[in-house]
């Protein structure tokens, strides 16, 4: 994972609530065995409507997306995060995210920032004309108009994002602890190893 | 004496390998189900990094999402090739990756093949008190057996393959208590649709839900799996039902379930998992069974639920402005006019299947309505897709396939089918489907498809009349 600490630029003012994973990337695009190239399918249904924000030249190449409540609900498909990254999006700001989507976003260095609806309403306005700045270190979203919205983030995720941590590599350092757990488990619940039954 | 704990806390605490200072825990994963769609990039990641699968013995691979549900073998017993080259490539990748990494693979022509969430419980691979993951959001399903089961993304699939653990923060806990007795014609699916309507699509976000109460206790394992399956549709990380004698009777003798002395030890352990008296949840929601009717969705979010006796809502009556806008958009997509009785809505397609409703009890419920009846002429496409080869075998032994075929429905091979529009089973644009699946999202069953989520008995009733129908009108 590439380290990420700030995102600055235009933002797509989508605002829609319950943006589900089928909206982000329809199932027909999930047949790939690679992580790349999914940007073409990103938000396909929304983009089929003329005048949509994704094809509005005012927001071309925006690295930020602003959405409504429950963003990323539905499927566990990480293709949703891959497709958004492939489209050039580095951060989503919404009042809430589905648990699985925010996990997938995190694993791909895509920031999923939770702000209250009032802040979202304000950022939707700002986005029409100006850039938005996200600073992960200070955990703030700011605008050129002195708006300053603090956000919460899990400390472990923050550390991994800023340092671009390879999480599998990190966990593998705990191999001895995992082995100890496995040994304890096979003694207390031998039935959990089906092939040994 | 430790403080009273919930079922969720007990399972969580029993799986902590390490805890960090910030509260993040390394959680051991007992069971990992793998399918073809969310795994190829994970296996590729392992290959690139030169990593192996730590516990292939705790991992089970089975194809389901892409597989066509038409015949898989020709008259000579040879495999029929899959027409879509991308689907074929993804299926071949799993077929190659599983043996390369030492993982048991259930082939598409094996009688044990089926939807991962049907296969796991059926094989006794999914057990109470375990942690179960799969790269699929409906993994919550296995919570019906009392397992902490949840969907993960592909990076986490790779993490579990490499380490048999996940780095997780503990979720909040919620109790959804359903008390009373279900009225005739009301099934587990109606209960979970009703719960989703009450909580909303994000009502459970950040929580693990334990479903309790007399209604849940009275349900079969099939019914409990249906409820827990849709925990994700109200936003929950996972759903749980405490294991009890119904659970043990279901699991005993299944191929991968514990045997002999292990069985007795396992049951003794499972009995200790129930939520202690005095344990508290972060949130409690109580639902009265008498308020639950046969239910149906009208919009494009699973929270858009109505009793079948209801009418299409008027968006302007919603208090929340964002919900007003969403409802307006939903009704445009669904081609519905406010005030229309739900029972006046015609359907051209019927889908009975999916990890929510493709088990033997679901097929029996649909067959009970269809027996001696025919599908309506305006129903162009009606398919019944058993959740596994073993469900199919059992249904055929009971003669259910004959009932479906005689009624004019198709009887298919197991798979995810028309639940998600990535295999050949799709609903045409602009047409409606009474579907026993779990999501009514825009384009879910195919681009432009209009989905109404219902129970198996309600789907069967819609097949008979060609309209959304109150199944109670067709019951003896």
Domain boundary (B228, B256, B291) is at: B291
Q: Are residues B218 and B70 in the same domain?
A: no
A160, closest residue in chain B (CA to CA): B167
Contacts of B15 (CB under 8 A, 6+ apart): B27, B28, B29, B30, B131, B148
Q: Are residues B126 and B230 in the same domain?
A: no
Q: Who among A104, A172, A181 is closest to B28 (CB)?
A: A181
Please name the residues between 386 and 445 in chain B that touch chain A, using a CB distance below 8 Å.
420-422, 439, 441-444
Please name the residues between 118 and 137 in chain A that touch chain B, using a CB distance below 8 Å.
none
Ordered strands of the B25-28 beta sheet: B16-19, B25-28, B165-168
Q: Are residues B48 and B134 in the same domain?
A: yes
Please name the residues between 30 and 89 in chain B that touch chain A, using a CB distance below 8 Å.
30, 37-38, 40-41, 44, 49, 51, 54-55, 57-58, 65-66, 84, 86-87, 89
Q: Please give the pLDDT value at position A194.
A: 65
Model pLDDT for residues B143-177, shown as the tens digit of each residue = 999 999 999 999 999 999 999 999 999 999 999 99
- Count of beta carbons in the 10 Å neighbourhood of residue B373: 17
Model pLDDT for residues B98-156, shown as the tens digit of each residue = 999 999 999 999 999 999 999 999 999 999 999 999 999 999 999 999 999 999 999 99
Model pLDDT for residues B222-260, shown as the tens digit of each residue = 999 999 999 999 999 999 999 999 999 999 999 999 999
In CATH, which superfamily holds the domain spanning A6-165?
A: Aconitase, domain 4 (3.20.19.10)
Q: Please give the pLDDT value at position A197.
A: 36
Residue B146's domain spans which residues? 7-168
Q: Are residues B287 and B306 in the same domain?
A: no
Q: Which residue has the higher pLDDT, B22 or B291?
A: B291
Q: Who among B155, B301, B326 is closest to A104 (CB)?
A: B155
Model pLDDT for residues A25-72, shown as the tens digit of each residue = 999 999 999 999 999 999 999 999 999 999 999 999 999 999 999 999
Q: Are residues B339 and B395 in the same domain?
A: yes
Residue B250 falls inside a structural domain: no
User: Mean pLDDT in chain B?
Assistant: 97
Q: Are residues B137 and B237 in the same domain?
A: no
B297 touches chain A (CB under 8 A): no
- When pLDDT is cut at 50, 70 and 90, the band that residue B323 belongs to is confident
Q: Please give the pLDDT value at position B1.
A: 59
Instruction: Verify whether the Cβ–Cβ distance A73 to B24 is below 8 Å.
Output: no
Q: Could you give the dihedral angle defined by the CA atoms of residues B49, B52, B58 and B59, in that order, rounded to the nearest 10 degrees?
A: 60
Q: Are residues B231 and B302 in the same domain?
A: no
C-alpha separations of A188 from B163, B243, B266, B269, B309 in Å: 21, 19, 10, 10, 52
- Summarize the confidence of residues B328-332 as an average pLDDT: 96
Q: Are residues B311 and B392 in the same domain?
A: yes
- Summarize the confidence of residues B450-476 as an average pLDDT: 97
The token pair at B311 is 């009418």
In a mutagenesis test of the A interface, which of B66, B138, B150, B155 is the best target, namely the one with the most A β-carbons within 10 Å? B155
Instruction: Verify whether the Cβ–Cβ distance B237 to A99 is below 8 Å.
Output: yes
What whole-number percentage of chain B has pLDDT above 70?
100
Residue B254 falls inside a structural domain: no
Q: Are residues B344 and B210 in the same domain?
A: no
Q: Please give the pLDDT value at position A195.
A: 57
Say how many CB pairs under 8 Å bridge A and B: 197
Shortest alpha-carbon distance between residue A86 and chain B (Å): 16
Residues in chain A with CB shorter than 8 Å from the CB of B30 are 192
Instruction: Verify whether the Cβ–Cβ distance A189 to B269 is below 8 Å.
Output: yes
Instruction: Evaluate if residue A110 carries a pLDDT over 70.
Output: yes
What is residue B451's three-state secondary structure?
Answer: strand
Q: Are residues B182 and B120 in the same domain?
A: no
In a mutagenesis test of the A interface, which of B154, B200, B442 is the best target, namely the one with the most A β-carbons within 10 Å? B154
Cβ atoms A128, A13 nearer than 8 A: yes
Q: In terms of Cα–Cα distance, which of B239, B240, B237 is closest to B171?
A: B237
Instruction: Verify whether the Cβ–Cβ distance B258 to A45 is below 8 Å.
Output: no
Instruction: Verify whether the Cβ–Cβ distance B266 to A191 is below 8 Å.
Output: yes
What whole-number percentage of chain A has pLDDT above 90?
96
Please name the residues between 100 and 119 in chain A that touch chain B, using a CB distance below 8 Å.
100, 103-104, 107-108
Shortest alpha-carbon distance between residue B149 and chain A (Å): 13
CA angle in degrees (0–180, nearest 5) for A185-A191-A193: 70
Residue B257 falls inside a structural domain: no
Q: Please give the pLDDT value at position B374.
A: 98
What whole-number percentage of chain B has pLDDT above 90?
97
Q: Are residues B193 and B336 in the same domain?
A: no
Instruction: Evaluate if residue B388 carries a pLDDT over 50.
Output: yes
Query: What sign results for the dihedral spanned by CA atoms B303, B306, B312, B314?
Result: negative
> What domain count does chain B have?
3
Instruction: Evaluate if residue B467 carries a pLDDT over 80.
Output: yes
Domain ranges in chain A are: 6-165, 167-197
Shortest alpha-carbon distance between residue A43 and chain B (Å): 11
Report d(CA B157, CA B154) in Å as an integer.
5
Shortest alpha-carbon distance between residue B43 and chain A (Å): 10
Q: Who among A97, A107, A172 is closest to B155 (CB)?
A: A107
Report d(CA B412, CA B397) in Å as an integer.
15
Instruction: Verify whether the Cβ–Cβ distance A98 to B205 is below 8 Å.
Output: yes
- When pLDDT is cut at 50, 70 and 90, the band that residue A196 belongs to is very low
B290 touches chain A (CB under 8 A): no
Residue B252 falls inside a structural domain: no
Shortest alpha-carbon distance between residue B340 and chain A (Å): 25
Reported ipTM: the value is 0.95
Model pLDDT for residues B294-320, shown as the tens digit of each residue = 999 999 999 999 999 999 999 999 998
Residue B248 falls inside a structural domain: no
DSSP H or E segment with residue B31: strand B31-34
């Amino acid at each position: 994972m590439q380290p990420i600490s700030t995102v600055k630029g235009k933002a797509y003012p989508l605002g829609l609530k319950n943006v589900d994973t089928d909206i982000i990337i329809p199932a027909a695009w999930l047949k790939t065995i690679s992580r790349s190239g999914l940007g073409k399918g990103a938000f396909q249904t929304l983009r089929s409507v003329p005048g949509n924000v994704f094809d509005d030249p005012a927001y071309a190449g925006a690295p930020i997306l602003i959405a409504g409540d429950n963003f990323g609900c539905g499927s566990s498909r990480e293709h949703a995060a891959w497709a958004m990254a492939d489209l050039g999006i580095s951060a989503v700001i919404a009042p809430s995210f589905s648990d699985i989507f925010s996990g997938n976003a995190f694993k791909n260095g895509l920031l999923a920032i939770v702000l209250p609806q009032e802040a979202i309403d304000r950022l939707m306005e700002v986005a029409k004309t100006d850039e938005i700045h996200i600073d992960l270190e200070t955990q703030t979203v700011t605008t050129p108009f002195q708006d300053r919205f603090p956000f919460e983030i899990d400390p472990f995720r923050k550390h991994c994002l800023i340092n671009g941590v390879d999480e599998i590599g990190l966990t593998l350092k705990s191999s001895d602890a995992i082995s100890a757990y496995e040994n304890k488990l096979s003694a207390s619940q031998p039935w959990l190893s089906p092939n040994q039954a | 004496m430790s403080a009273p704990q919930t079922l969720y806390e007990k399972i969580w605490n029993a799986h902590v390998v390490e805890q960090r200072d910030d509260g993040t825990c390394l959680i051991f994963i007992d069971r990992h189900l793998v399918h073809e769609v969310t795994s190829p990039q994970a296996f590729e990641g392992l290959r690139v990094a030169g990593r192996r699968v730590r516990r292939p013995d705790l991992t089970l691979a089975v194809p389901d999402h892409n597989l066509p549900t038409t015949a898989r073998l020709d008259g000579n017993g040879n495999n029929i090739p899959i027409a879509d080259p991308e689907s074929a490539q993804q299926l071949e990748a799993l077929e190659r990756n599983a043996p390369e990494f030492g993982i048991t693979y259930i082939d598409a022509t094996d009688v044990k093949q089926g939807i991962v969430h049907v296969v796991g419980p059926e094989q006794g691979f999914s057990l109470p008190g375990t942690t179960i993951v799969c790269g699929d959001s409906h993994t919550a399903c296995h919570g019906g057996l009392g397992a902490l089961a949840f969907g993960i993304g592909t990076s986490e699939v790779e993490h579990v393959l490499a380490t048999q653990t996940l780095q997780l923060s503990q979720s909040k806990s919620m109790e959804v208590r359903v008390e009373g007795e279900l009225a005739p014609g009301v099934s587990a699916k109606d209960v979970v649709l009703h719960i989703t309507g009450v909580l909303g699509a994000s009502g459970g976000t950040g929580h693990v839900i334990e479903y309790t109460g007399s209604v849940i206790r009275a349900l079969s394992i099939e019914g409990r799996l249906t409820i827990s399956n849709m925990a994700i549709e109200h936003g929950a990380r996972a759903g749980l039902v405490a294991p009890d004698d119904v659970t043990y009777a279901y699991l005993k003798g299944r191929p991968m379930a514990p045997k002999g002395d292990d069985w007795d030890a396992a049951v003794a352990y499972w009995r200790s998992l129930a939520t202690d008296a005095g344990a508290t949840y972060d949130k409690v929601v109580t639902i009265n069974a008498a308020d639950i009717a046969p239910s149906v969705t009208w919009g494009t979010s699973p929270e858009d639920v109505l009793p079948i006796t209801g009418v299409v809502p008027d968006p302007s009556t919603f208090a929340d402005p964002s919900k007003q806008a969403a409802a307006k958009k939903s009704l445009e997509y669904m081609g519905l006019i406010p005030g229309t009785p739900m029972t006046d809505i015609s359907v051209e397609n019927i889908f009975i299947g999916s990890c929510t409703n493709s088990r033997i009890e679901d097929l029996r419920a649909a067959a009970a309505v269809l027996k001696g009846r025919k599908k309506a002429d305006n129903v162009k496409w009606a398919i019944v897709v058993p959740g596994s080869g073993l469900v199919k075998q059992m249904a055929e032994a009971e003669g259910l396939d004959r009932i479906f075929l005689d009624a004019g429905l198709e009887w298919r091979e197991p798979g995810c089918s028309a639940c998600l529009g990535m295999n050949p089973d799709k609903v045409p644009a602009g047409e409606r489907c009474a579907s026993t699946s779990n999501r009514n999202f825009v384009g879910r069953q195919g681009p432009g498809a209009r989905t109404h989520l219902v129970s198996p008995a309600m789907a069967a009733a819609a097949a008979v009349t060609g309209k959304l129908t109150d199944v109670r009108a067709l019951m003896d």
